[in-house]
Chains A and B, each alone.
Chain A
Amino acid sequence: MTMSTSRKVIFYVILILSALLLAGPMILAFVLSLMTNQDILTGNIPTALTVDNYIRAFERSPLLSYLINSLLVSIVIMLGQLLLSSLAAYAFVFLEFKGRDILFYIFIATLMVPFEVSVIPNFHLIRDLGWIDSYAGLTIPFFATAFGTFLLRQNFKQIPKELREASQIAGIGDVKYYLTVVLPVAKSSLVTFGIYGFLSTWNMYLWPLLATTNDKVRTVQIGLKQLQTQEQVNEWGVIMAGAVIVIIPTLILLFFGQKKLQKGLTEGALK
């Protein structure tokens, strides 16, 4: 089935227009971040391009330490989620025991409690534990995830049962089987869920806003909000430079992981 040339042209025109409209705000932010304030305020076509805004963004706020905090928090949550959900998925697929179904329903039930509903007691809990302004408070509450467990369970189920039986006869225990067979086989799913976990943690907003009160562990999303509120109206270049810095890591991750993510998310979401 090939398309006629004229139809192809129509499709390309629509595709290009849509892409420009959708990416418009991002392209604009990038252009603004390279413009001088003079040009932004007068609404001119840029007369000169400069990286001054980026330098100023790093000078005026501890942007670098925010970035490192976000990176640390995201990686720790990602690893925690991978560990806990792969362990749980293993139990749901390879171990048969009484009460497993009830536990499975408990995991499903967690999907119905959005974080916003439990945010008040969670805040008090973290405060009473002395975890405000700590990496522990920012990461540990998010380690357990039903979504990740279901996604990996779906993948583990595709490993033939006979393989486990054979390994049992060979005297291989569950921990060894989990480490040496299941995890390597499910590598692709683990990467997909890892990307997803990193993306959603990097972009988290409400919890870091509540759980941090100083610059020590504050993440870059809250840093961006601060940059925006402290800058005067006429400093849009600096604010946009901050926004571009916040977006770039996740965009890069998305560009490389888009195909994997698409496959993984639909499997986890629809089955």
Chain B
Amino acid sequence: MRMTNSTTNNTSNTHLLEIEQVKKKIRMNNFYKGMLFLLPSIMLFSVFLFYPLFRTIYLSFFLTKASGDTTIFVGLENYVNMFASPLFLKSMKSTFLFVFYTVPTTILISLFLAVIANEKLKGIGFFRTIFSSTMGVSVAAASVLWLYLFNPTVGLFNQILDIFGFEAIGWLTDPKWALLSVSATTIWMNIGFTFLILLSGLQSIDSSLYESADIEGAGYFYKLRRITIPMLSPTLFFVITVTIINAFQSFGQIDILTQGGPVNETNLLVYSIYREAFVNYRFGSASAQAIVLFVLILFMTYLQFKLGERKVHYQ
């Protein structure tokens, strides 16, 4: 009895061992296959994303030659100089002002458009296409269109002012107006994408909520305030962070509309990095500025993950 028992135990043990080995083999096999499928992406990420990121951090501690080679290690000096530089501080101020001008307005206009385009009306698809159309307009094209609108003599805005007898405004040359003008262009460009995401958010709200509100005789604006906006909050939160991140990354509209002027009024962060690196060839201090951009965007992404997760509710 005892004998037989131990034999069966032995055989099942060897079986188990074999199964373990086969499993291990499959897992190793899967590992190689997995790496094979992922290798192209990982390689490109390493070369064009992670290496340059660390290289940017590295460069920010050095002075460089015009070729980009490092010359002297200066520690934190680039950072110290940066935060003492009135030019950089002005650039930061303009960047935050720009975010403040563009983000709330973009969201409000897009939300308004999404709400009116969410009605079940004949031909609504046409309006949805129009409202999302600025998504297809490149930053270069959008800037050129608005460059005309802002033109001091033949531009549409000053022509309208002229009709009503107002004095012409130097939209892009007057320090009071330049950042606002660049912001207006940016808002227009961003509406398409923001609208599309908000519309999707609206469409995914359960229609039974509205039906029960209708039974209780709730009005249009009551429903908007009590159902639409709260149910849309995860989507709203998402588009707000994405719009902020986009605003921090703005470059093309500055390059075409103002080149950072007048008196550096529109010298936003990425434009400032570009100028420091590719016009002044000071790659060390340009890298220090790039790290500031990195930290800002990292913080926004962190907020997105942290708060977004808690707020999102799926049905």
Task: Decide if A58 is an interface residue (CB 8 Å cutoff).
Answer: no
CA of A34 to CA of B95, assembled, Å: 37
B182 to chain A, nearest CB (A): 15
CA of A23 to CA of B283, assembled, Å: 41
CA of A225 to CA of B241, assembled, Å: 30
Task: Decide if B145 is an interface residue (CB 8 Å cutoff).
Answer: yes
Chain A residues closer than 8 Å to B79, beta-carbon distance: none
Q: For A113, give its contact among B34, B145, B294 (CB under 8 Å).
A: B294
Chain B residues closer than 8 Å to A25, beta-carbon distance: 142, 145-146, 149, 188
Chain B residues closer than 8 Å to A174, beta-carbon distance: 33, 37
The size class of the interface chain B forms with chain A is 35 or more
Most buried by A among B44, B278, B283: B44
Beta-carbon contact of A85 and B131 below 8 Å: no
CA of A197 to CA of B32, assembled, Å: 29
Task: Decide if B53 is an interface residue (CB 8 Å cutoff).
Answer: yes
Beta-carbon contact of A19 and B131 below 8 Å: yes
Beta-carbon contact of B131 and A118 below 8 Å: no
Task: Decide if A117 is an interface residue (CB 8 Å cutoff).
Answer: yes
Task: Decide if B17 is an interface residue (CB 8 Å cutoff).
Answer: no
Beta-carbon contact of B121 and A121 below 8 Å: no
Chain A residues closer than 8 Å to B56, beta-carbon distance: 117-118, 120-121
Q: How many inter-chain contacts with C-beta < 8 Å in the A-B complex?
A: 274
Chain A residues closer than 8 Å to B27, beta-carbon distance: 96-98
Q: For B33, give its contact among A95, A140, A236 (CB under 8 Å).
A: A95
Task: Decide if B63 is an interface residue (CB 8 Å cutoff).
Answer: no
Beta-carbon contact of A206 and B197 below 8 Å: no
CA of A265 to CA of B129, assembled, Å: 15
Chain A residues closer than 8 Å to B48, beta-carbon distance: 118, 122, 125, 140-141, 144
Q: Which B residues form the contact surface with A (CB < 8 A)?
A: 27, 30-31, 33-34, 37-38, 40-45, 47-53, 55-56, 59, 68, 112-113, 116-117, 119-121, 124, 127-142, 144-149, 151, 153-154, 156, 159, 188, 191, 196-197, 199-201, 204, 211, 214, 234-235, 238, 242, 245, 248-249, 251-252, 255-256, 270, 273-274, 277-278, 283, 286-287, 290-291, 293-294, 297-298, 301, 312, 314
Shortest Cβ-Cβ A-B pairs, 3 listed? A118-B52, A203-B138, A121-B52
Chain A to chain B contacts (Cβ below 8 Å), 25 pairs: A11-B116, A25-B142, A28-B148, A87-B38, A96-B27, A97-B27, A97-B30, A98-B27, A112-B298, A117-B293, A118-B290, A119-B290, A120-B59, A121-B56, A125-B48, A125-B52, A141-B48, A205-B255, A206-B270, A221-B252, A222-B140, A240-B148, A242-B144, A254-B136, A262-B200
